[in-house]
Amino acid sequence: MSDPAQPLIERARKGDRVAAGQLIDDFHARIYAYLRRLTGDAIDAEDLTQQTFAKAWQSLETFAGRSTVSAWLHGIAYHTFADWLRRKRPVESRTEDWWDACPDPFEPFAELAERDTTASVWQSVDALPNDLRQTVHLHYFQELTLQETADALGIAVSTVKFRVKSAIGQLQKSLAEPGLKPSAVNR
């Protein structure tokens, strides 16, 4: 039984664009459907179909006719799919609820980082001069208002504002400088 597409291959090898177009017309839908079933995605299937035909045209001269044109094209399509699958390594799709229920593998690290940052801030605050340290503790850690902090320390609100600004400046400097220990900040 002869392959009806074989004469199209011979003509396409000689540069006949009409024959090449006819081969695409004859096999595009079948190759696309095959790849669509394999990938489960229309866009990926279309991309792989184009890659299949590009590879077929590049190896047109090597087609020996030991199989039908259809089998040859499907073989190229399969190998194109296999290469894509190795590159892509698609993951099993999961619902959003499934992902939400998964524990965060970085949670312990985030907690450690937060504790480390908190410890650094506490150490830096403890290294501040006493008047600035007391102001920061009352205003930020005890969450007193500026007026309440001023009342507790028996100073003016403007002095509390000045101390807060000075403390923040020193904290930013001590926390930004790598290797600078909190105790290196002037007391």
**CATH code, domain with 154:** 1.10.10.10
Place 138 in a pLDDT band, splitting at 50, 70 and 90: confident
Higher pLDDT, 11 or 186: 11
pLDDT of residue 104: 55
Residues 49 and 15 placed together within one structural domain of the fold: yes
How many other β-carbons are positioned within 10 Å of the β-carbon of residue 122?
A: 12
Place 184 in a pLDDT band, splitting at 50, 70 and 90: very low
| Domain total of the chain | 2
Provide the residue type at 1 as one letter: M
pLDDT of residue 183: 45
Domain enclosing residue 84, as ranges: 6-88
Q: How large is the angle between the packed helices 6-13 and 17-39, nearest 10 degrees?
A: 120
Q: 48 exposed, middle or buried (CB, 10 Å; 0-12, 13-18, 19+)?
A: buried
Check: pTM over 0.85? Answer yes or no.
Answer: no
The string of pLDDT tens digits covering residues 56-96 is 989 888 888 888 888 889 989 999 998 998 887 655 566 76
Residues 51 and 116 placed together within one structural domain of the fold: no
Question: In which region does residue 118 sit, left (phi positive, over 0), alpha (psi from -120 to 50) or beta (all else)?
Answer: alpha
The string of pLDDT tens digits covering residues 142-172 is 778 898 888 878 899 999 999 999 999 998 8
